[in-house]
Structure 1
Amino acid sequence: MFDIFRTGGFPGRVAAVERSGRSQGLRRGQIRAVITDVVSVGDAGRGTRSMRAELALKSIAADLDSPVRMHHALEQVLVFAGAALAVVYAPDGDDGSLLCLVDSAGVPRTLYGLRESYHISGRSPVASAHRSGRPVWLGPAELGECPEFRFTPSPGVPDFFVAALPVPGAGGGCLLAVSERPGGFGAEERECLALIAEAVAAPAPAGTPVGEELAPHAFSLAMDTGRVEVDDGILDAFGLPRDGFDGKVETLLGRTVPEDLPSLMSVVEVDHLSIGDRELEFRVVQPAGPPRWLRLRGRLLPGGEGRPPRLVGTVEDASGPGSEVTDVTRVQRLAAALATAGTVRDVSQAVVTALRKPLRADRIALAELEGDRLVVAVLDPPAQEAWPELWRQEWRTEWPEAPVRSMPTLAAALREGRAQIWPVGADLEPALAEVGPGGLAVLPLIAGGRTAGACLIGWESPHDFGPEERTLLTASAGLVGQALMRAHAFDAEHELIGMLQRQLLPRRLPKLPGGVAIARYLPTTAGLELGGDWYDVIPLADNHVALVIGDVQGHNAGAATLMGQMRTALRAYAAEGHTPDVVVSHANRLLMEMETDLFATCCYVDVDMEEGSAWCVRAGHLPPVLLYPDGSTEIAEADGGPPLGVMAQADFPMTPLRLQPGTLIALTTDGLVESPEIDIDTGMEGFAHELSGSDPADLGLVADALLGNARRNDDIALLLMRYDGMDVRPLRESWTVWRVPEAVRHARRFTRRTLRTWGVSAGSIDTVLLVVSELVTNAMVHTDGKVRLDLTLVNHRMRVSVFDVSPRAPMKPTSIGWEATGGRGILLVEAVSEAWGTVPVSGGKQVWCELLLSD
């Protein structure tokens, strides 16, 4: 602004008055009154300059609050007195012995060597004017003779003149002005300075309470302590009650949307500020609904000796219908919305929200460019009949997909890569003309040197495109293009990550005897990180089921890979028939041998579906929560060992759990119960409380209710199983086969006696005895050590299992000659049984077969 004033030209002064009035918040009529007066008088009417200054000062006093009025009064010194710098000094200090700088306007004061404070009894022009109550006028010669007020201007600064005028009132003070014009301040300029000195009101001394004197929506922040005095209107805007506000600026900053906090901190931190005005918009979180936009206008007031600087200004609502929204504000809001837009749909919705209503547009379409086709991401309004006929012909499910070649004008605009605007009546092909009969704007969305898509904005009634609106559209196109490119990459990576995550987790859970299980997995919403949470349901022998849930440290590809390895290892160890503590110990040893820096937590529950009992083993993981049929819940008091991969020699104790029919077992990861605001113990209690009000009849509804309020700061895995009990319990018997010559005969006798007790018919008994003879004989002949025979009967289905300590599985011969003396046993077993096989078991194997018995 000073460069315009320094020219002394009449057009520059008119523009300066208009800009100054707008920055002060004057009404347009008041600004025009001042400018009309200036134009009508011209250079011939310079005698009325004081009248114009008086009019401007009256407008400022009528429309502005005191913290801002002083600064804009100083700006009138630059306009009407032709000054390069205007400064106000006021008494301050514990005893009022100093005149401290309060406010300034114009070029930096350091250019002329002005100090922040002068002693009130000194010989400086500031002190002299304050003590005598008379103005002091100094030229270059007089300035050189002032010992206490000797200026040391920077190189290149010409000779200048200084005016020091006393500020009337009880507080006193001094208005100081610097002019570089030849001759300094003339009679008219001196008269204007006298008027402005009367309009300047000195602020309250440092340390005076200002809370009760604040204007509406005003604040005063002490930059050294962070204590802030605010009006009730500001507290309402931040959603804070007066009795709940502690007076700290950190409390207000804590209500700010995190993305807007850096820009706001740049205003309230003194290290980032210079003396002058500051204005910005930011958002605060609301208890319900979207964030609220606020506008801060402030000015940093310098401190003196023993007095810290202060930031004073106002904070007002910027989201209401009556708030002033500039094009710069719209771009700022669009940039803020695009910064948090993760997907292409999010980007599209942000564009519609930021542009359609402010521009009073009737249609907005945003489309990605894929090859030679436009794939529309969003149409607003979404109704098909609101768009051209060609678009409806190319409709694909929800949105249309049209070839670019069908709209040559659009294709040309995309090739040129710059915004194109067509007013009403432009000669366009129907596919474009029907989008904007009253005006059409096509914004190619450029990012990374390529066209990512296009945004079409149309008006029904004739629309006038002003220069500011064209600038807004061009700036918005650049922001949207970058955001669209990021969102497209985000969508592609998110789909890839989702596919990988689905491959690492079970596709479906198995059907359980006497129970139902359901699982949910929610990835974190922060970024594209792969999670390490996993779950599994493993059917085991003898109607046992293993419930597994775990979490690998970290969120990256390494964590996801390790998660897949741990899930596979636990499933393999469980299938071998190990006890739960052995399964977890083997997984811990495996993770230690992998030499990875990551660790994992795990909770393993082995449920006996026949007996209604379970054994729980924890490795640094959350315990299970039980919901009993009477509606009560219990967090299982299960002893736990360290996380997997931390200690090579670690104990993993087993804790028994008793289950009644109708009991629900809930396993989860810490993402559901822990957050920065809630510790894990409180979260587990809340989880158990929410579970207590659930109806386990529909596990899907229970899982959805538990995840409904999840904060999603981390991955979440949830595994629920309802134990119902088996309607028909199997009949079981076991026999340890001694290695004696009559071992097979003893096994046959045990089998016959058991089957007769179970009521099996004689014809079926002979078939079972044949199978027992062959399997026991193979174990006794081809293996050493312990041999055990297991018999299980359920629903006329007989299962015969023979366990031995050899890991080598029996081989079925491909052919047997007449002279062969062995090898027919497995062929006989296969011939008479419904199915047969072998499974590895801890320390050996189990050969089994199943037979369907007659009534």
Structure 2
Amino acid sequence: MRIVTDRGEGFAGAALTAVYVLDQDADELRQTDAVGESPGTGFGLSSRYPLSGSSPVADAFRTGQPLWLTPAEVTAHGDGQPADVSLGALPLGADGKRLGCLVVLDRGGDGFDTVRRNFLELYADQVGALLDAADVPCGTTAPDCALRHMRVGSFTLVLGTGQIDADRQVLDLAGIHPSEFDGRVETLLAHTVPEDLPALMSVVEPGHMASSRRELEFRMRWPSGELHWLRLRCRVLADSDGRPERMLGVVAESSHLRPSTDEVSRVQRLSAILATATTVRDVSRGVVTALREPLGADRMALSELHASRLVVTVLDPPEPSAWPEIWRAEWRSEWPEAPARALPTLAAALREGRTSLWTTSTGLEPGLAGLGRGGLAVLPLPADGRLVGACLLGWDNPHEFGTEERSLLTATAGLVGQALVRARAFDAEHELAAMLQRSLLPRKLPELPGCAAVARYLPATAGLEVGGDWYDVIPLSDRHVALVIGDVQGHSAEAATVMGQIRTAIRAYAVEGHPPDVVVSHANRLLVGMDTDSFATCCYVALDTEEGDAWIVRAGHLPPLLRDPDGNSSEVFAEGGPPLGVLADAEFPLTVVGLAAGSVITLLTDGLVESSSLHLDDGMRRVREVLSATDPSDVDRLADAVISGADQRDDDVAVLLLRYDGLRARPLRAGWAVWRLPDAVMHARRFTARTLRSWKVSQQTDAVLLIVSELVTNALVHTQGEVRLDLTLAGERLRVAVSDSSPRAPVKPTSVDWEVTGGRGLLLVEAMACSWGAVPLSGGKQVWGEIVLAPLES
């Protein structure tokens, strides 16, 4: 404290200098020290001044404005000072906080002149900044600890000649011996770090000299190489004609006030964040984390530059109300796209390609005016010799851009620009991989009678290579459907290729009508015979939608999860075989499970339930809990709930979920084994007629009998082996199906010679039926035709 008061006495010529700070109760000002002719309570100063009392010290503290009293005014105030004493009371504070009061007294004259007042006010600003930096409770002796580091010097600069009158303390701070100083300002500037010279010279620029007060920080390098941070506060005095004549300045050591997270550490932190950012969104959030809070910015925007549009990747805060109208008008679901031509100031800054700073955005175009009334920074983001985006920071309260902050923003722009280019390339490659993956999966799932199926697929968040997870829903006959899910080992183009081949093969084998274990066995032999070292896991479920029976086959895959209608969820115990592609003669056991109406069966891959931080058992337990706790009436919402915990994924995630509702009206079925006799067609027609009478179908019977005749005749004439006729009535649709042992599909003639007696069977079926077709069966085929009937007779 003595250092402080000594400096106040030295450069202002005061007879007595005293410092007052708030006590612990914050109801009075306590004198911490006084230096001069009569220290202590000399010159009538009190050791304490109540804030509620009437005294120059308390008045200056309450108003926050310096109070200067001439000897006559001091005498009139009646505080006990001698008659020939002038007094100055200067409040100490920073950033709106009132911390204390600096009191100076001098004998004789008419009081402190303008020059001395300016010096003392600048000096009080430095003391207030130090007290604020101490950040200690009122009434303690800690301010002494903070102020003892204070090294303050003063100078007067004649603007017209460049001559500077600097005291010894300024020369010490600059590392210059008094005998080596020639009184020229250039000598002092020669010790300034070159990067800080532009900011230091800006205080004498014409646009800034009109300001009543300026403050900035800069660095001085001593002859020993040691670097020191200094803080400058200055004022410009004008001559009688109003032209700037002299600059009064106070310089203080500020190295001990440097924050622990300085420019270098902030850049290092940002570099570390950007090194692990793999997407544009990761880069954006990392920049916000590293800059907005440390710099105290009220809002921050990061955008990519595409042609003439700024595609914003992050706005913080994200609420539209925090941004000007042009940003709200361009809002697109989450982030806006602002045309650069609508922001000419911003466009000009981007053209110049250098960091642009404004101490206020007032007067700028509406799109920028609301971003930072107290300060606005625009950082063009360069990369590879071109601009890739822009970063904007805005402050609502007055904000001065110090030298350190300017350097930080400039360094940040280059880092972020390069990170955006890398992230953009990563996003493009990741999207290409995801698109390839999705192209190998079903675009949409079929509508199933008595069931509702949904699927979800999420690519891994780490890595670019496409994975091998797949799923499929395969309608088989009019009452069966197959569900399949699988995972090919690895993440590569080969894994995706194998996945596509296996999925296609399983679908083909299933449609041919093979039972589930045979389908999986065929797929296993196919993969073993392929020229690849990959293997795959698979779970295949064939469901009878009429009876509710599910046949399950596992090949090294996770078991299905079953949610009962009452909400209980469990793993289905199904004995499994080895993964596909390992053993050519592997066996795959078949497990049968009955489903009640309202049951939900879930197939999934291990990316959802297992990772480096999640044990498989815990993952399966979490999915079962979600299934039990979520209403299955909305299967889409249920599927979303199942994958809700898969935000950070080491592997791809595939989920296939089916709710079995059962058929409201069970179809009527009848079958007949057709004997190979000369009158076989007649017997088939008689069987059909009897069945239709028993089902009370009396309309369109002739058309049905004609279809039966043609299909049975074709089977008997063109195939060998067993022939079977099946009739199915589901609602108002009657299906006639004839199965035979020949895999050869029927061919409809393109032209008919009317003199020929045969070849018209399929043309008649096509004419009579509303739809017809042929599907392969295991070892043969089935040809069918459907007719829409009138409502059943009561």
Q: Which residue of 1 aligns with 2:277?
A: 341
Task: Determine the C-alpha separation between the residues in 2 that align with 1:513 and 1:393.
Answer: 46
Equivalent residues in 2 for 1:449-488, closer than 5 Å: 449-460=385-396, 462-488=398-424
Task: Determine the C-alpha separation between the residues in 2 that align with 1:391 and 1:34.
Answer: 47
1:368 to 283, 304, 327: 304
1:752 to 680, 686, 689: 689
The question of 1:722 aligning with 2:659 is answered yes
Check 1:475–1:28 CA distance in 2 against 1; reply closer, same or farther (3 A cut). farther
Task: Determine the C-alpha separation between the residues in 1 that align with 2:407 and 2:328.
Answer: 32
Give the C-alpha shift of residue 620 in structure 1: 0.8
Counterpart of 1:332 in structure 2: which amino acid?
Q
Equivalent residues in 2 for 1:223-622, closer than 5 Å: 324-381=260-317, 401-404=337-340, 410-411=346-347, 413-422=349-358, 435-436=371-372, 438-460=374-396, 462-622=398-558
Task: Determine the C-alpha separation between the residues in 1 that align with 2:621 and 2:396.
Answer: 58
* Contact 2:467-2:496 within 8 A present in 1 as well: yes
Q: Which residue of 2 aligns with 1:664?
A: 600
Check 1:388–1:749 CA distance in 2 against 1; reply closer, same or farther (3 A cut). closer
Task: Determine the C-alpha separation between the residues in 1 that align with 2:304 and 2:483.
Answer: 45
Check 1:725–1:372 CA distance in 2 against 1; reply closer, same or farther (3 A cut). closer
Q: Which residue of 1 aligns with 2:703?
A: 767
Q: Report SS of the residue matched to 2:429.
A: helix
Give the C-alpha shift of residue 832 in structure 1: 1.6
2:676 to 712, 715, 739: 739
Task: Determine the C-alpha separation between the residues in 1 that align with 2:626 and 2:372.
Answer: 53
Q: Deviations over 1:701-736 (max 9, x none)?
A: 333333233363322222222222212112222222
Task: Determine the C-alpha separation between the residues in 1 that align with 2:372 and 2:596.
Answer: 69
Q: Report SS of the residue matched to 1:779.
A: helix
Check 1:717–1:399 CA distance in 2 against 1; reply closer, same or farther (3 A cut). closer
Check 1:540–1:369 CA distance in 2 against 1; reply closer, same or farther (3 A cut). same
Equivalent residues in 2 for 1:178-193, closer than 5 Å: none
Task: Determine the C-alpha separation between the residues in 1 that align with 2:330 and 2:598.
Answer: 54
Give the C-alpha shift of residue 668 in structure 1: 1.3
Counterpart of 2:261 in structure 1: which amino acid?
V
Task: Determine the C-alpha separation between the residues in 2 that align with 1:698 and 1:399.
Answer: 30
Give the C-alpha shift of residue 395 in structure 1: 6.6
Check 1:387–1:735 CA distance in 2 against 1; reply closer, same or farther (3 A cut). closer
Task: Determine the C-alpha separation between the residues in 1 that align with 2:603 and 2:332.
Answer: 43
Q: Report SS of the residue matched to 1:672.
A: coil
Give the C-alpha shift of residue 429 in structure 1: 6.9
Q: Report SS of the residue matched to 1:328.
A: helix
1:839 to 755, 760, 775: 775
Give the C-alpha shift of residue 656 in structure 1: 1.1
Q: Report SS of the residue matched to 1:670.
A: coil
Give the C-alpha shift of residue 822 in structure 1: 0.7
The question of 1:817 aligning with 2:779 is answered no
Task: Determine the C-alpha separation between the residues in 2 that align with 1:378 and 1:544.
Answer: 49
Counterpart of 2:599 in structure 1: which amino acid?
T
Q: Which residue of 1 aligns with 2:244?
A: none
Give the C-alpha shift of residue 406 in structure 1: 5.7
Q: Which residue of 2 aligns with 1:314?
A: none
Counterpart of 1:620 in structure 2: which amino acid?
G
Segment of structure 1 superposing worse, 775-784 or 425-434: 425-434
Counterpart of 1:354 in structure 2: which amino acid?
A
Counterpart of 1:738 in structure 2: which amino acid?
W
Counterpart of 2:489 in structure 1: which amino acid?
Q
Give the C-alpha shift of residue 397 in structure 1: 6.7
Task: Determine the C-alpha separation between the residues in 1 that align with 2:618 and 2:391.
Answer: 49
Task: Determine the C-alpha separation between the residues in 2 that align with 1:670 and 1:425.
Answer: 53
The share of aligned pairs that are identical, in percent, is 65
* Contact 2:361-2:368 within 8 A present in 1 as well: no
Q: Which ranges of structure 1 fall in alignment gaps of 5 or more residues?
A: 1-21, 45-321
Check 1:349–1:741 CA distance in 2 against 1; reply closer, same or farther (3 A cut). same
Q: Which residue of 1 aligns with 2:571?
A: 635
Q: Report SS of the residue matched to 2:743.
A: coil
Task: Determine the C-alpha separation between the residues in 2 that align with 1:792 and 1:384.
Answer: 60
Check 1:387–1:760 CA distance in 2 against 1; reply closer, same or farther (3 A cut). closer
Segment of structure 1 superposing worse, 435-444 or 818-827: 435-444
1:644 to 561, 580, 597: 580
TM-score (norm 1): 0.59
Q: Which residue of 1 aligns with 2:743?
A: 807
Q: Report SS of the residue matched to 1:607.
A: strand
Give the C-alpha shift of residue 579 in structure 1: 0.7
Task: Determine the C-alpha separation between the residues in 1 that align with 2:369 and 2:551.
Answer: 72
Check 1:441–1:27 CA distance in 2 against 1; reply closer, same or farther (3 A cut). farther
Q: Deviations over 1:44-76 (max 9, x none)?
A: 9xxxxxxxxxxxxxxxxxxxxxxxxxxxxxxxx
The question of 1:778 aligning with 2:714 is answered yes
Q: Which residue of 1 aligns with 2:788?
A: 852
Task: Determine the C-alpha separation between the residues in 1 that align with 2:398 and 2:415.
Answer: 27
Counterpart of 1:628 in structure 2: which amino acid?
D
Check 1:458–1:817 CA distance in 2 against 1; reply closer, same or farther (3 A cut). closer
Counterpart of 1:804 in structure 2: which amino acid?
D
Task: Determine the C-alpha separation between the residues in 1 that align with 2:572 and 2:362.
Answer: 75
* Contact 2:361-2:370 within 8 A present in 1 as well: no
Q: Which ranges of structure 2 fall in alignment gaps of 5 or more residues?
A: 1-133, 135-143, 154-167, 179-257
Counterpart of 2:708 in structure 1: which amino acid?
V
Over the residues paired in the alignment, what is the CA RMSD in angstroms? 3.5
Task: Determine the C-alpha separation between the residues in 1 that align with 2:561 and 2:325.
Answer: 59
Check 1:744–1:482 CA distance in 2 against 1; reply closer, same or farther (3 A cut). same
Task: Determine the C-alpha separation between the residues in 2 that align with 1:812 and 1:787.
Answer: 20
Task: Determine the C-alpha separation between the residues in 2 that align with 1:425 and 1:824.
Answer: 85
Equivalent residues in 2 for 1:42-53, closer than 5 Å: none
Count of residues in Structure 1 that have an aligned counterpart in Structure 2: 554
Q: Which residue of 1 aligns with 2:157?
A: none
Give the C-alpha shift of residue 782 in structure 1: 1.5
Q: Report SS of the residue matched to 1:653.
A: coil
Give the C-alpha shift of residue 433 in structure 1: 6.6
Check 1:323–1:608 CA distance in 2 against 1; reply closer, same or farther (3 A cut). farther
